[in-house]
Amino acid sequence: MSSLANLHLQSNTKINFTGGNLSSDAGLLLFHKFIDKLGLHSLLKSYFKTTDKAKRQHLDHEILLQKIYQICAGYFTDDVSDELSIDPVLTTCLEKKRLASQPTISRFGSRLDEITLEQLHKITCSLRKRVYSVIPPQRVLLDLDSTLLPTYGKQEGEAYNYHYSAHGYHPLVCYDGLTGDLLKIELRKGSTYSSTGISQFLQPLLDEYLSQYPDTQLFLRGETVGYLDTG
């Protein structure tokens, strides 16, 4: 009768306990198809660039696209990037052998400024136009409110917000209340009052809809709107 030890010695099979090229994010392949249909990669490549002049292995638009994929997969912090750098699904979606590491992504975040915010706004408008070219909306409900983004350190601009009784940022957000689509968001200091800057925030969005989609009916809903001068 053969013992387990004898069977092991007679076998030429190599046992690998590393798991091989496995990933728990295979669902990103479907998201990748959606991203490809939207043409997001080409939009980022055309419109997004920081003022940084250094030559880098990972370009700005590539890092931004990586961040989008990671956030959609539920990875919200930069420090997970090191573990995901050779993830087979992410590297396939982004068509790279190795993704940007945590230090690279953190340095990228420090290069963002008002210019890149304008670029992101232009990209959002272009994406909206592409989506609406398929099925233009008959009506849009501009659902306007503020919310809390919690913080757990001494980040610049974070503060105690008395309405939420917590530390964080206090951004303005605008959704389409009929579809749930995020139309616009603006980060603000945690101590900012709910309706502060509401007109400046909403006016560009109104101008876009009135000029680009004149046949779309616009409705506004919001508890923190306050006074709004639409011109």
> What pTM did the predictor assign?
0.79
Same domain as 146, residue 124: no
Same domain as 122, residue 41: yes
Could you tell me the two tokens for 226?
């306050």
Same domain as 185, residue 121: no
Tens of pLDDT, residue by residue over 46-82, are 999 999 888 889 999 999 999 999 999 999 889 999 9
Picking from 80, 113, 135, the residue at the C-terminal end of a domain is 135
157 inside domain:
yes
> What is the pLDDT confidence band of residue 11, given thresholds at 50, 70 and 90?
very low
Q: How many residues does the chain have?
A: 231
Same domain as 164, residue 218: yes
Same domain as 192, residue 217: yes
Tens of pLDDT, residue by residue over 80-134, are 999 999 999 999 999 999 999 999 999 999 999 999 999 999 999 999 999 999 9
Picking from 109, 135, 161, the residue at the C-terminal end of a domain is 135
Same domain as 201, residue 152: yes
> What is the pLDDT confidence band of residue 22, given thresholds at 50, 70 and 90?
confident
Strand partners, 182: 175
Could you tell me the two tokens for 142?
């501009």
